[in-house]
Amino acid sequence: MITVTGLTRRFGSKVALDGVSFQVSAGEIYAYLGPNGAGKTTTIRILTGLSKKDGGVVRLHDFDIDRNPLESKSQFGLVPQHTNLDADLTVEENLLIHGLLHHMERRTIVQKSRELLDYMEISDRRQSLVKSLSGGLKRRLLIARALLHAPRILFLDEPTVGLDPAIRRSIWGFIKKIRNDGATIFLTTHYIEEAEFLADRVAFLDAGKIVDENTPANLMAAIGQWAVDYLEESRLQTAYFASREQAGDSVLGRANGCTVRRVNLEDAFIAMTGRKIA
């Protein structure tokens, strides 16, 4: 559904993307993880036609974004990191404008809007001004708007940023439901647990390059199942073990307090790059 080959982007002497290549299959949730400045937002901006690339080929559902720009743009919906709804219009008015921009018939827009507002559980706020909505409701509306023209691909750029944990988890449920209904989802996030819960596959991006790509379980299993965090010369260190018993044995005799926990995706990223995702 998404094919990226040799994608490059430079800003002066800085290389933001250095020959990035990946494929996302139909019906897959693909998480694209990396620290600030790694190139995540640049990738999404190029894939959605908001920025130019310096090299490489991008195809969305077999449409080349350079040769078939209108066809490729019709394939996706975008949920941006920052809310860009019109705050002085109602929920329904925001959806109406989006539908008209996609050349949808007004009758179809009304019908699809009602279906999506029910789907996202905000139908009771359809006449409300957007500026009166909470952050969580605005996120739901952004997702509904992105789905209005029935795209095959959904780009989610930090979809739950700034939301409290309970609302984040409700959004995760909607994302899973959208995938189960047939959409292909490309996700960027700084919340490690979000990628672990949602993603079928994960790509680690660092300094403009993909340094690894696999399922969350395989990426974590490559370094172990259990982690021990401990202080050594006033610095936090982490050791990884295949079993909880091995992790527990390593704690014995340590003078400083230790924490035994499950390995997570950030551990896998740090073990590979020496850098934190968030």
Q: Which residue has the higher pLDDT, 164 or 216?
A: 216
Distances (CA, A) of 101 to 107, 109, 141, 216: 14, 11, 17, 38
Rounded CA-CA distance 18/21 in Å is 9
219 to 59, 98, 113, 193: CA distances (angstroms): 27, 39, 39, 14
> For 35-39, 75-79, 120-124, 260-264, which range has the lowest pLDDT when averaged over its residues?
35-39
Domain 2-215 fold is Rossmann fold (3.40.50)
Q: What is the pLDDT confidence band of residue 5, given thresholds at 50, 70 and 90?
A: very high
Residue 131 has pLDDT above 90, yes or no: yes
**Is the distance from CB of 140 to CB of 91 less than 8 angstroms?**
no
Please write the tens of the pLDDT for every residue from 141-177. Answer: 999 999 999 999 999 998 888 888 888 898 999 999 9
Q: What is the pTM of this model?
A: 0.90
Give the tens place of pLDDT for each residue, 187-211: 998 888 999 999 999 999 998 999 9
pLDDT surpasses 80 at 258 = yes
Looking at residue 190, what is its pLDDT?
84
Residue 246 has pLDDT above 80, yes or no: yes
The candidate with the shortest Cα–Cα distance to 195, out of 152, 165, 158, is 158
Better-scored residue on pLDDT, 250 or 100: 100
Nearest residue to 232 via CA among 202, 200, 258: 258
Query: For residue 278, what pLDDT band results from cuts at 50, 70 and 90?
Result: low
Domain extents for the chain?
Answer: 2-215, 224-262
Distance between CA atoms of residues 158 and 86, nearest Å: 20
| pLDDT mean over 2-26 | 96
Averaged over 231-248, what is the pLDDT? 88
pLDDT at 274: 77
Q: What is the mean pLDDT of residues 257-261?
A: 87
Percent of the chain with pLDDT strictly greater than 70: 99
Q: What is the pLDDT of residue 255?
A: 63
For the chain, the straight-line distance linking the first and the last C-alpha, in angstroms and rounded, comes to: 28
For 250-268, what is the mean pLDDT?
A: 85
Residue pLDDT, tens place only, 40-49 = 989 999 999 9
